[in-house]
Structures are given as structure tokens and as C-alpha cells.
Amino acid sequence: MTVRFTGKKPSRRAFLKGTLASTAGVMAGAGAANAAGPDPLITEKQDWAMGTGDGVDATPYGLPIRFEDDVIRRNVEWLTADTISSINFSPIHALDGTITPQGCAFERHHSGAIELRKEDFRLMINGLVDTPLVFTYEDLERFPRVNKTFFLECAANTGMEWAGAQLNGAQFTHGMIHNMEYSGVSLRTLLEEAGVKPEGKWVYVEGADASSNGRSIPIEKALDDCMIAFKANGEALRKEHGYPARLVVPGWEGNMWVKWIRRIEIKEIAVESREETSKYTDTLADGTARKWTWVMDAKSVVTSPSPQSPIKHGHGPLVITGLAWSGRGAITRVDVSKDGGKTWETARLANPGQPMALTRFYLDTEWNGEEMLLQSRAMDETGYVQPTKNMLREVRGENSVYHNNCIQTWWVKADGEAENVEVS
Amino acid sequence: MSKYRNLLIGSALVAMAASPVLAEKLGLGRPALPEEIAAWNLDVSPDGTGLPVGSGSVEDGEAIFSENCAICHGEFAEGVDNWPKLAGGEGTLADKDPLKTVGSYWPYLSTTFDYVRRSMPFGNAQTLSDDDVYAITAYILYSNYLVEDDFVLSNENFLDVEMPNANGFIVDDRDTSEAHFWTEPCMENCKSGDVTITMRARVLDVTPQEEGAEEEAAAEEAPAETAAPAEEAKAEEPVMEETAALDPELVKDGEKVFKKCKACHQVGEGAKNKTGPVLNGIVGHPAGAIEGFKYSKGMQDFAESGGVWNEENLAAFLTKPKDFIKKTKMGFAGLKKESDIAAVTEYLKSVSQ
């Protein structure tokens, strides 16, 4: 329902677990120091080296080992009235690479995650078509299939940070994002099966859940790269991501990626539904609002070090890493600043940027306890450069809620702790 | 921005070329029947297409709104807690904290009708008649001082209603208003003088605490006490035996049924009153007596008359809430199947601690 972005009255000071753990480790000094004595983990025989472990069927469908049980989605309770119409955040501070495992990929529901069996799934195409059609799930699987990796970012990602630094952790500031490899059918294929009439300019899509989450998409985009996906990262979509099938709208705001999709209507005009008028429109400083701001601007964030992922090792080599993405195409370059944006150095992309998918970057560097004001800045193939928060505010004010793609600053302190800050 | 546009077109061509080439239709799926299209094709557009024939008055709307919507949106559409405010906020859009409501922000009335008909009330969607939706829409307009109290909204006069913020929107203009973001990035001496911190998240302190962090810290401080929980568990055993008389299959079924209730009611440890009261221990509990919950007048009367949520009363209430307690705040239509009522009652017993 309503998502609040203006903050709430301060509660009692919240210490993150990682922060607590960090203070001890940092004092140890450089990593290459000589050992004080033989390491019992090496010199003594360990249980795991003598006995046996679990048999093959101990967990028929495995979950992460228990030591990783803090790598989970998290919710910010005060944002919404109820978890049924709410959002949570992917633990991007603790992940690496680019693929987000489904089990910790953020969720956004408008009337809860529904359970819809494949047998009960129906997809209708109606409106300005030659033949209105109904497909079953089985029908979808018989169309030629495509495999593509795309990020999905909620338009409200970083929305709580417009008026100032608010949430202390990359998960909370930037975690309304995930990146998956989708298998499914191109929307174009389905639309061609029904035959779009020339006067059809818009595609209205809605889900089977009570919210329906209807959105209007211009026909050009629908015929370009949209997909009806039924698998993600090789396995069936999770219930919370729209099982058995969802829409994929590459590079465009997550709200358009309708889950549990049940109907596609070809229309002459946009429906101007609740989700494209009262929500997902961006109010400017003078009170007018932008609508149809579908594409996600180029953006990046340092995921480590960050408030939930402080530097726990001593001085010496340090890996700075993060994610970059753009709804307009591939990431071509990411720069990192340690001094709040005065000087920049170009980071290494783990792999060449792929269009509308997450790109991992690394800066392999040296840290000797100096304070850093850590920032990253993404560039995409169109030449767009991720702006500072002040540059965005100059154009958009502070009430946009959505589409905050500003450069993020982490203040890394001498003890390795990090904090979300704004800088001059 | 021509560079950017050309690139976009370029990538679109690549994407099209990469998708499978279809020489002809595959003949998959089947034609949609007119009845099927009629059942799902409910969207209403700004030009009025999709509006059903019907009408509803502000007067009727007030009563329907009070029964179905006020629990979240307030009697005057002013909103309760974090639920959306539907009225007020006129003239606030350029303020520091704009209040965006149907009256102050929504550009088209069709959106209200479309959304209420398709998705409201929350947890009980698609149960209102078209006339009810017209009436609710009329009442929301009235709450925003956009129509008089004798107004009747219908498909005939729908497009005559003027929405105050109809002209308050512009189409995405980022590639012109933000053209300066396409630039050559600065690498050195990009800021003059010292960079200073102007705001800190820690000062505001609204970040959720990591679950388990507190307990772990406590455990580290007092390792000697780890034996205590086991003894506590023993002390709880008699309670466990009492609940063991429940039919576990029925409890499981009831948990599924309870999904319908979860939008408003919480159960279990740490449950709080939300739109509806906490339901721990509700079976056998005096009615209208959950601490901290504001009950309707009807429920208060039932409580005063000595009403208790025994299984009989609960079954009657759940069958048709508004028949059992007139003016109950519970916006739920009721459970149709007796088996669902039995199951959810069994589930509620299982959470009765």
C-alpha cells in the first residue's frame, strides 16, 4: 500500500551485528604478520577430518549452511502499514558476483504473494488483436524459448534517501534489486500469435492477485525485449516472484514486471492505473510530477566495505567491490573515489557489462586505516554518468520518491566501520 | 541526445535479431470466449471506456465506505496509521511533505473506480457491486470537497467530474531536463576545498536492528545460563498436552484458511493489534475484550451483553460477520464453507496461548 519515505522518529540506537564484530579484528595489523605460534587448526586433528559428514539426501533441496543464516532478506517495518503490501531488501552487502539467488531476492507485494498452481494458470490476450487467445502454462512451454539475464530494480530503491542519509546499510539503501537469468517466451512471440492490430499502441498487463497491479507498456517496448518468464536461475520462479509466470521488462522499473501474469490487453491509450498515476510518478519541486518514467537510470553502489560489511581485517590489501547497472544498456565503466568525489580511479569490471544486467566491479587497493569517503560512479553505453545527489536534487527536488540513482557515500572510519553519510 | 537515441534503436535491432524467427503462427492456445473476456476485461480508462452502466450516491457511499473501507482509510477517508489517506492534501504538492490523495494528486477519476472495483476492499477484493463502487467513488469525491452531499455519480456524468490535479503531470523528460548527465566524468580536483560530511544515517537511527544480534550478544555475555531454556521447556509440557488434543490435519487446513484473515489479524508470539485485534486465545475468550483494540459500537454491545467467542458464536460470526454483529468493523464477507470455519477455529485454538 503506501510506502513512506520520510523517515520516522528516532528509535533506540541500532547496532548491526557486523559492526559489533568488527571492532576486535581491525587492531590485529597487517595480514602478513608472522604467526605467534603453530595454528591448532593445522597441528591438531579436527573432528571433520576424522569422522564423516552428512549423506547425500540429508537435504533434498539444500539451503545455505547455517553459518550464513544472516544473509537474508530484511524488511524495514516502519515503511509500510502491513507486510502483505510491502517490500523487503536483498542482502547485496553479503553477495558477490552478479546473480541473485532466488531465496534472498527482494520481494514486493501489493496484496501478498499468492499460491497459483500451473494447472490453474491462464493467460489471456485480448483487446486490439486479430484473435483473442487464452494460453495454459503448458502452451507457454511449447513456444520457442529464450534465456536472458536482467536486473529488476524497484523504482523506489534508494527512495528513502532523497531528503538525507537515512538507512545504514547497502541492503536497505540499495537492496530493492535482484538480477536473474530468466527462461521463458518473448512477449513478441505471444503477441504475434494473437496478431496485433495496427491501432494497438499500448499493452496493458495485469496479474492474477487481488492487487492486479495493472500497468501500461508502449507497444514498441512490448515487441522489443519483454519476456514471459517461468524459470529464473534455472529453476521455477519462486511464489514470491510470480510463480508460475511473470512479465520481464528489461531495464524498466520493477513495478511493471507483473507477477502471476494473467492478462495482456492491446489498447489505443494507456489505462492510467493506480500504479502509474498515484504511485510510480515522480513529484518535482514545484509540485508537478513526471509520469511514464519507466527506464532505470545508470546507478552503482559499493557493497563492501559498507555499514553491514565493515573492514574486519588489518591494514594492507583491501578489495573494494560493488554493483553497477543501467536500464539504457550495458555498463561500460565504474569509477571509485575514496575522498568523497574529489579524485576518482577506474575500477575493474569482473566481466564486460551486459545490457540491463548487473555488473560487478572491483578496486584492488591498499588500506592503512585512513578514513575514506567511499563512492562509486557508473557510466553506461549511452554515455550517461551517474549523478551526485545534489545534481539530482537540483533538477528534481526532494519529493520524487522514485528513481533516486545518486552516487552513494560510505564513511569508512579508522577502525574499519562504515556509515551512510552525505557529503558537501 | 541523438547519440543516446541511436544507440537505443541499435540495441533494439540487435534484440529483435536475436529472438527466434517466426515464419508463421504456431496455432497454440485457443480463442478466448466472450464470457471469459467479459469476466477479466475490467479495466477502465480515462476516456471512460470500460465503465459499466450504474450509479451510486454520496449518501449510500458514506455507509458503504464506513462498512468496507473506513477501518484502514478512516471514516472521512483521512487514513488510519500507515494506510493510504484518500482525502485532503490540496495545495501541498510543492511542500516539503506533499500529501498525495485522490483529491490532491490523482489525475483521473477512472483510476479510483478501476482500482476500487478490481482490488478493494483489501483482503476481500471484487465483492462490491458496480453501484457500490460508484457510491464509494462518489463518497471519496465528497470527502475531498469535489462534489456536494446530494451528488450521484454514474457512467453518464462520470467524465464531467473535474479532477483538480488533472494537469499536474508531464511525460518523462529526463533526456532533455537531465541532458547534462550525459557528460565526460571528472577524475581529478573535482571538488574545491575539503569534502565534509553534511549528514549521517547514525544520527537519524532508523535502520532496523539485525535479528538475533541482541540475543547473541546476550548469550556471549552470560554463557553459564544456557541450561535454563531446557528447564523452561519442561515446565511448559502440560500446556503442550492440552493442545495435543487438536486435530493436526484440521489445524493445518485452518492455517491455510487463516491466510484470508492475515491481512488484518496477527497471531502467535509478538502478535500485535493491526487492522483487527490479536487472535491469540480467542476461542473461549470474552468478546470485544482484546486489550488496546478499539471495537465497533456493535461489538462493544455484544461484549457488554456477556458475549463470549465460543465455537457456536464464532461460527455464526464467521459465516456472515455483519449479520451476527451489525456495524462490526470487520470488512470480511464471511467464510462460505462450514469445513473452512471448523478448520480455522481449530487453528485459532492451536494458537491459543
Instruction: Out of B36, B204, B211, name the one closest to residue A166 (CB).
Output: B204
Lowest-pLDDT range of A152-156, A188-192, B261-265: B261-265
| Fold for the domain defined by B226-350 | Cytochrome Bc1 Complex; Chain D, domain 2 (1.10.760)
Cβ contact, residue pair B188, A344, below 8 Å: yes
Tell me, what's the ipTM?
0.90
Give the pLDDT of residue A6: 52
* Helix, strand, or coil (residue A361): strand
- What was the pLDDT predicted at B265? 84
Q: How far apart are the C-alpha atoms of A250 and A266, rounded to whole Å?
A: 20
Cell of B32: 478466448
Angstrom distance (rounded) from CA A319 to CA A363: 6
Distance CA A290, CA A256 (A): 16
Verify whether the Cβ–Cβ distance B106 to A277 is below 8 Å.
Answer: yes
Per-window interface: A 234-293 vs B, CB < 8 A:
262-263, 265, 267, 269-274, 277-278, 281, 283, 285-293
Cβ contact, residue pair A134, B30, below 8 Å: yes
Q: Which of B180, B181, B192 is nearest to A339 (CA)?
A: B192
Strand A261-267 relative to strand A122-127, pairing = parallel
Residue B267's closest CA among B161, B345, B164, B177? B345
Query: What is the per-residue pLDDT across B275-317, written as a single tens digit (0 to 9) for each?
Result: 788 898 888 888 888 888 888 888 888 888 888 888 888 888 8
pTM: 0.80
Locate the chain B residue with the closest alpha carbon to A186: B19
**Does B31 reach chain A within 8 Å, measured CB to CB?**
yes
Q: Do A328 and B84 touch (CB under 8 A)?
A: no
Read off the pLDDT of residues A358-370 as tens digits, 9 standing for 90 and up: 999 999 999 999 9
Q: Which range in A29-33, B41-45, B296-300 is most confidently predicted, on average pLDDT? A: B41-45
pLDDT beyond 50 at A1: no
**B262 with A84: Cβ contact below 8 A:** yes
Number of CB pairs, chain A paired with chain B, less than 8 A apart? 326
Residue B112, C-alpha cell as written in the block: 479510483
Contact B93, B169 (CB under 8 A): no
- The grid coordinates of residue B195 equal 569534502
CA distance B83 to B106: 17
CB nearest A168 (choices: B102, B207, B212): B207
Summarised one tens digit per residue, pLDDT across range A383-397 is 999 999 999 999 999
- Tell me whether A24 touches chain B (CB under 8 Å): no
Q: Is residue A287's pLDDT more than 70?
A: yes
Pick from B200, B211, B259: CB nearest A421? B200
All CATH 1.10.760.10 domain ranges of chain B, comma separated, are 55-160, 226-350
pLDDT beyond 60 at A157 = yes
Shortest Cα distance from B318 to chain A (angstroms)?
Answer: 21
C-alpha–C-alpha distance, residues B325 and B334, integer Å: 12
pLDDT score, position A109: 96
Whether cis (ω within 30° of 0) applies to the bond prior to A244 is yes
Task: For A80-97, give the DSSP string.
Answer: SSBTTBEEEE--GGG--S
Tell me what pLDDT residue B326 has: 76
By CB atoms closer than 10 A (0-12, 13-18, 19+), residue A70 is: middle
**By the CB < 8 Å criterion, does B9 face chain A?**
no
pLDDT of B1 reads 40
Question: Cα–Cα distance between B296 and B329 in angstroms, integer?
Answer: 6
Strands lying side by side in the sheet with B169-171? A282-283, A289-291, B169-171
Angle at A89 between CA A86 and CA A92, to 5 degrees: 170
Residue B217 pLDDT more than 60? no
Kind of pairing between the strands at A261-267 and A227-232: unpaired
Per-residue pLDDT at A22 = 42
Task: Give helix B248-257 / helix B338-350 axis angle, nearest 10°.
Answer: 110
Instruction: Tell me the C-alpha distance between A389 and A403, whole Å.
Output: 11
The reported pLDDT for the residue numbered B284 is 85
Per-residue pLDDT tens digits for B226-261: 333 333 333 333 333 344 578 888 888 888 888 778
Q: Under a CB-based contact definition with an 8 Å cutoff, are residues B122 and A111 in contact?
A: yes
Nearest Cα residue in chain A from B8:
A328
B201–A419: do the CB atoms touch at under 8 Å?
yes
Burial of B123 (0-12, 13-18, 19+ CB in 10 A): buried
Determine whether the interchain pair A126/B37 forms a contact, defined as Cβ–Cβ distance below 8 Å: yes
Cβ within 8 Å, pair B195-A342: yes
Chain B residues touching A1 at Cβ < 8 A? 82-84, 122
Q: How far apart are CA B349 and CA B237, in angstroms?
A: 17
pLDDT of residue A33: 63
Give the tens place of pLDDT for each residue, A68-103. Answer: 999 999 999 888 888 888 999 999 999 999 999 999
pLDDT score of A24: 40
Are residues A2 and B110, on separate chains, in Cβ contact within 8 Å?
Answer: no
| Residue A146 in this model has a pLDDT that exceeds 90 | yes
Reduced 3-state DSSP string for chain B: CHHHHHHHHHHHHHHHHHCCCCCCCCCCCEECCHHHHHHHCCCCCCCCCCCCCCEEEHHHHHHHHHHHCHHHHCCCCCCCCCCCCCCCCCCCCCCCCCCCCCCCCCCCHHHHHHHHHHHCCCCCCCCCCHHHHHHHHHHHHHHCCCCCCCCEEECCCHHHCCCCCCCCEEECCHHHHCHHHECCCCCCCCCCCCCCEEEEHHHHCCCCCCCCHHHHHHHHHCHHHHHHHHHHHHHCHHHHHHHCCCCHHHHHHHHHHHHHCCCCCCCCCCCCCCCCCCCCCCCCCECCCCCCCCCCHHHHHHHHCCCECCHHHHHHHHHCHHHHCCCCCCCCCCCCCHHHHHHHHHHHHHCCC
Buried b / exposed e across B18-40, counting CB within 10 Å, b at 16+?
ebeeeeeeeebbeebeeeebeeb
Contact B100 A283 (CB under 8 A): yes
The rounded radius of gyration (Å) of the Cα atoms in chain A is 23
Could you report the per-residue pLDDT of B114-155, keeping only the tens digit for each? 999 999 999 999 999 999 999 999 999 999 999 999 999 999
Burial, A117: exposed, middle or buried (Cβ in 10 Å; 0-12, 13-18, 19+)? exposed
Q: What is the pLDDT of residues B313-345, one digit of tens each?
A: 888 888 888 788 877 878 777 787 888 888 888
Query: So what's the pLDDT on residue B255?
Result: 84
B residues 38-77 closer than 8 Å to A (CB): 40-41, 43-47, 72
Least confident of A205-209, B137-141, B181-185, B342-346: B342-346
3 state SS of A208: coil
**Nearest of A170, A161, A76 to residue A419 by alpha carbon:** A170
Whether the CB of A350 is below 8 Å from some CB of chain B: the reply is no
Dist. CA A122–CA A104, nearest whole Å: 28
Backbone angles phi, psi at B245, to 5 degrees: -70, -10
Across the range B185-206, mean pLDDT stands at 91
Percentage of chain A exceeding pLDDT 90:
89
Q: How confident is the model at residue A140 (pLDDT cuts 50, 70, 90)?
A: very high
Q: Is A159 on the interface with B (CB under 8 A)?
A: no
Instruction: Name the phi and psi angles at B134, rounded to 5.
Output: -60, -45
> CA quadruple B112, A156, A233, A56: dihedral positive or negative?
negative
Q: Give me the pLDDT at residue A166, please.
A: 94
pLDDT value for B285: 86
Q: pLDDT, tens digit, for every residue of A410-420?
A: 999 999 999 99
CATH code for residues B55-160: 1.10.760.10
Q: What is the pLDDT of residue A380?
A: 98
Which DSSP letter does residue A241 get? Answer: G
CB contact under 8 A, A210 and B213: no
Question: A232 or B250, which is more confident?
Answer: A232
From the candidates A117, A137, A263, A274, which should be mutated to test the interface with B, based on the most B CB atoms within 10 A?
Answer: A274
Residue pointed to by grid coordinates 547473541: B216
With cell 552428512, the residue in question is A54
Judged by average pLDDT, the poorest of A233-237, A263-267, A283-287, B208-212 is: B208-212
Q: Is the pLDDT of residue A307 over 90?
A: yes
Q: What is the mean pLDDT of residues A112-124?
A: 97
The answer to whether residue B326 neighbours chain A at the CB level (below 8 Å) is no
Amino acid identity, position B77:
A
DSSP string, A322-357: EEEE-TTS-EEEEEEESBSSSS-EEPEESS---TTS
Query: What residue of B is the nearest CA neighbor of A81?
Result: B82
Grid cell listed for A140: 507457454
Residue A16: what pLDDT? 39
Answer yes or no: is pLDDT of A141 > 70.
Answer: yes
- Residues B41, A398: C-beta atoms closer than 8 Å: no
Cα–Cα distance measured from residue A353 to residue A381, given in angstroms and rounded to the nearest whole number: 9
**φ, ψ for residue A134, nearest 5 deg:** -125, 130
- Model confidence at B15, in pLDDT bands (50, 70, 90)? very low
More confident residue, A346 or A20: A346
A81 and chain B: CB distance < 8 Å anywhere? yes
